[in-house]
Amino acid sequence: MNLNEDQRRAVETEKTAVVIAGAGSGKTRVLTERYLRLVRNGVQPSRILALTFTRKAAAEMHERISQGIRGLARSSHGLLEDFENAHISTLDSFCALVLRPHALGFGIRPDFGMCAADDLEGLESRALSFLLSKKDRPGVRRLIHSWGLDRVVNDFLCHYGRNHAMVGAVPDPEEWEEWYQEKVEEAFTSVDEGMERCGDFVRECAREARILEEERKREKKKVSESIGKLIDAGTMWEVVEAAWDRVRSRREGGSGLVPEVVREWREALDEVASSLKGLRVDELRDAIDTLKKELGVGKKPPSSSLSAVAGDLVSLLERREEASSLFGVLAEWHGEVERFKKERNLLTFGDVMHLVLTLLKEEKEVREFYKGRFDAILVDEFQDNNGLQRDLLFLLAERKGRCGDGVPSFEDLEPGKLFVVGDEKQSIYLFRGADVGVFLDLKERANRSSHGEVMRLPHNYRSEPGLLDAVNRMAGAFPEEMRGGIEFLPAEAGREGAGFTPRIEAGVYVKEEEKARAEGRDLVDAGTAEAWWVAGRIRRWVEEGELVVRDGEEVRPVRYGDIAVLMRTGTNQLAFERAFRAHGIPYTAAYSRNLFLEAPANDLFSWLFIAVYPHDLLSYAAVLRGPLVGLSDRDILRLIEREEGCFSLSREEVEEMLGDEEELLRERVERYERGKEIYDWLVSHRDRVPHERLLRYLWVDCGYRMVLLGREQLHPFLRFYDELVAFVRRWEERPLARCLDEVKEELGRYGRVDVEEGRGEDAVRIMTIHAAKGLEFPVVVLASCGAESRREGEGKMPYFMVEGVPAFGFEGDEEGKKENPLYRRAAEEMKKKEAEEMLRLLYVGLTRAQSHLLITGEWRGAVGKEEHGADDGSKKTVPSFMSLLFEAKIEEPEVRFKADQEGIAGVEWRDPERIPGITEEELRERVGSGSRGGRWEEAARWYEEVDEGVGGVRPGVLSVSVLAGEWEAERGGEARGRGAVFGSLVHRGMVLWARLGDEGRVREALRGEALAWGGDGEWGEVDRVCEEAAALVRRWAESEVGREVLGNGAGWEVECVAEWEGRVLHGVMDAVWVGDGVVRIYEWKTEEEPDVERYRAQLFLYGLIASRVWPGRRVECVLGVPGGRMWRGVWGMEGEWEEVAAWVRGRLGITI
């Protein structure tokens, strides 16, 4: 295998190596060649430990190495057999292998299961029960008051349980208390030093002021008020020092620091500081400025000022009791979590890692065994490591003959045994516990050590040279303060250009709502406008052959499968999916959607959970807290502690329980009663109506949709309803409990919802940047770049771990206590780390592109004018990708790239384009198609709305059903009443058959549909009608056309919109199949024979729409009846279609 000089140096090093492998630098090749070189030098594969952090990466590494081993095996007998015992795996799998023989020593069965921390099912319910038993503890009460019940359960107890409650490591709260006392002592020392320092400054300034006062008096000049205040400050300082002496005497006398005594001193100190505000004496300007700085006079005093450290001391003392209480609670909860895991014989990856580390540190014989078992350790993606994993590797790489206590130092490692590869610029897993500081520290240790070596692989073999140069310049413009000590060194081109010019484009959406409203236009949200603009651009690239890409040694026009849309999060994924469907763009959503992380899923499904499981306290609490009931946490705790089931109390019992606040009692009781009404309806209708009808009841009838409409920031959630309905439809033939079992797997974490549209290899890929790590694409669309990281105050947790000890945050404190300084500093540090990682995430996104790059998003700042932010800092944000890549100067009317483009060659770097605002009406005027995936009764209601007249409900949109109905009326009478509705029921049965494939199950599902639609009053006896419909569906399924449509994977009930001759046509096709070069439209009727002339207009209009939605494909029309007979024809504008084409033109007033 050909290696460049840097790669060869890394492969052949004999030292403990840290290899910095940039994007596209060939790190897998280096790891593979390092492994094979060891084997060629006589090391058996079974004595090499190769580790990575995902199964996919481990499988890829195994495949690459095995190819090389097969080549070596031709001249080395027994090599393949030994390779069968090779250790190429994830670090988690290796740790499990080490732990199982010793698990009983930790009280764990050797057959334990393993899971990610987020997959500990049932922990929330355990946490709620635990919280109820501790709710009267002072710290717990204060935490619930500050954060709310839900966040205390999920972001405090469950978060700690998943991430810090390691089996075998139950903390001692007394040790936490001692640590807290050390911090109090440190604060006291800082204040003591500050008092002495400020005392000298105050006395010196007062002395100089007296001298100045005497001089002014001698010269008979006016003595300024500021001079007098400065002299008075010296006198006032004596009061401050006396108060501080009282604090010191209590501390030295063993009485301990009392918050009240400290507070008296602090008040005296504040009085001095207040007297110095606005004070100005020209002759003493420098001395006064120094004094103010040391005292901390002003809005934002330095953290080292006396005012700041005094505030820290006061806060630490005031929070001591609450912290002490929570130390004990959290230690108890740690033990509870350990019992919870052992009951299930289930460990998290973190548990396994911790136990193995403990085993290797304490059992030296075990350590010696594993040290001797491996001669070399290769580690991939080390930048996503943490301290625990580093220590484990150090123990395995320890020098032979040394087996000291604790973790060995870098100097104690066996030279050349440890070989790690990573890139600090691509560390993007902070949320999983990765710490880029571990990689940076290891790099520093290797640089300092005589047996360590740091090597860089600077060449990028992925990107076209011109594009690489541009990305280097973008990274070079990253703000220094966000780099976290990481150097974004320019990558060097590892290959020659392919003979075409790579392109960089940008689309910027600038909010124009005020201007639009002045013009009477109501714009869609920025994410939707961006998605439609991107879809149009992609379609143009492909259909017009606007871009070319490298394909091996050749160059060809870009295809859909060459394009990837990458986003920081999946928040705007649904908008892109809809835009792609509307433009006929095939796509795959190859990442985990965050549908079940969002509030609507939790709110709506919590109602369904309690309808099935009335003793599910966690779901009941969510319902009581949610927008449809809206009780306080205090009321919720009272209710769930008293009630034996959901909404089980009478009105009188609720009034008695909640009657301590008379002025709000009636409103709170009414809310409870309203919730009870909703609950009773759900219980009485579950498994009698389709599951999606339950969701629609909550969404529409109970007003959940109106809740979202009432708050603009919640409008993006409106699009989630269709996705939730699509999810439950998969389970509608099963009991609700079965559906909820699946939901329980998804709620509160990333969950994949299958996307039916756009399957196939030649499809645009939509994924998060995290999912794209390690991948490369000819064309990258870096989308939703305007999405900001959270605003100031958002994203804080109820606690942070500081030096292994929890520091608690208390917000909204009605007692006026200050925030815990330990917590405040930890929150600031986390915010800083998140900002630094955001920069690295952007870098990873940029470096996925091989040939072309498009960057899009909303610009949230001002353009062409000065922007004024709030003085209180409420506008502060962690920057967005847009603000990192672009800028808008006051004198310039447009947003532009920050990076310097001067002198750049080999790339077409275009100026950003404005993404125009767009209205719903304008969207409907554009070419589009999309699957409603809707229920037949919803489709019927849509038809009823548009039946009011052509374009009557949707201005400018012409309904296929209306036009086709007029054609039918002229040629044989319009089918209305029971026939039309019964036809809808049969159509629904066809959709169900495609999923269920059984007449009996279809009949039962149709019965639920009929009951939801109106039951006996609509059709007569329900069972007879459903049996008749199911029988027709079975006949259809057994027919030739039925087998065809069921076998080719056609989409059902496909809603389409397209423009023709300045008119917009809308319709919902029964089924559509899209193949290579052909589109086939299926339309079903309930007559005995297919009457093609009667339905000619409907077929013509659907064919017309399809010809525009899927241009360039032949359009075929199939008219079928349940008995199996059918008519087929190729759509066109002439021949047998000429008459209907002329009729449609005449009806719409179109002249040729």
Determine the 3-state secondary structure of 375 from DSSP.
coil
Q: Tell me if 564 sits within 8 A of 772, measured CB to CB.
A: yes
**What single letter denotes the amino acid at residue 217?**
K
Q: Are strands 957-959 and 1063-1075 parallel, antiparallel or unpaired?
A: parallel
Q: Are strands 886-887 and 459-460 parallel, antiparallel or unpaired?
A: unpaired
φ/ψ bin of 1077: left (φ > 0), alpha (ψ from -120 to 50), beta (otherwise): left
Determine the 3-state secondary structure of 1128 from DSSP.
strand
Spatial CA neighbour of 615 closest among 636, 654, 646: 646
User: How far is C-alpha 1026 from the chain's CA centre?
Assistant: 44
The structure tokens listed for 884 are: 């990192």
Q: Tell me if 503 sits within 8 A of 541, measured CB to CB.
A: no
Tell me which long-range contacts 631-635 makes (C-beta under 8 A, separation of at least 24).
Answer: 631/668, 631/671, 631/672, 632/668, 633/144, 633/145, 633/148, 633/149, 635/668
Determine the 3-state secondary structure of 855 from DSSP.
strand
Determine if residue 233 is labeled as part of a ligand binding site: no
Torsions phi, psi for 566 (to 5 deg): -110, 140
Order of strands across the sheet that contains 376-379: 87-90, 48-52, 376-379, 418-422, 16-21, 452-457
- How far apart CA 375 and CA 205 sit, in angstroms, is 69
Q: Annotate 886-924 with DSSP letters as a single string.
A: EE--TT-SS-EESS--TT--SSEEPPPEEPPP-BHHHHH
Spatial CA neighbour of 1123 closest among 1050, 1002, 1038: 1038
Q: Tell me if 183 sits within 8 A of 822, measured CB to CB.
A: yes
Determine if residue 21 is labeled as part of a ligand binding site: yes
Residue 593 neighbours by CB distance under 10 Å: 23
Torsions phi, psi for 7 (to 5 deg): -65, -40
Torsions phi, psi for 588 (to 5 deg): -130, 135
Cβ-count burial 271-282 (b if 16+ within 10 Å, e if not): ebbeebeebebe
- How far apart CA 809 and CA 797 sit, in angstroms, is 8
Q: Annotate 475-525 with DSSP letters as a single string.
A: HHTS-GGGSTT---PPPEE-S---SS--EEEEEEEE--HHHHHHTT--BPP
Residue with tokens 């099912």: 121
Q: Residue ranges of the alpha helices (H) in 760-846? A: 769-772, 821-846
Tell me which long-range contacts 738-741 makes (C-beta under 8 A, separation of at least 24).
Answer: 739/608, 739/691, 740/605, 740/608, 740/609, 740/612, 740/613
Determine if residue 24 is labeled as part of a ligand binding site: yes
Q: Are strands 87-90 and 113-115 parallel, antiparallel or unpaired?
A: unpaired
Determine if residue 42 is labeled as part of a ligand binding site: no
The structure tokens listed for 1044 are: 């065809």
Determine if residue 1142 is labeled as part of a ligand binding site: no
Determine if residue 90 is labeled as part of a ligand binding site: no
Q: Are strands 492-493 and 459-460 parallel, antiparallel or unpaired?
A: parallel
Determine if residue 1030 is labeled as part of a ligand binding site: no
Determine if residue 511 is labeled as part of a ligand binding site: no
- How far apart CA 526 and CA 534 sit, in angstroms, is 12
Q: Tell me if 894 sits within 8 A of 912, measured CB to CB.
A: yes
**What single letter denotes the amino acid at residue 11?**
V
Spatial CA neighbour of 799 closest among 831, 821, 827, 829: 827
Residues in the annotated binding site for ATP: 21-28
Residues in the annotated binding site: 21-28
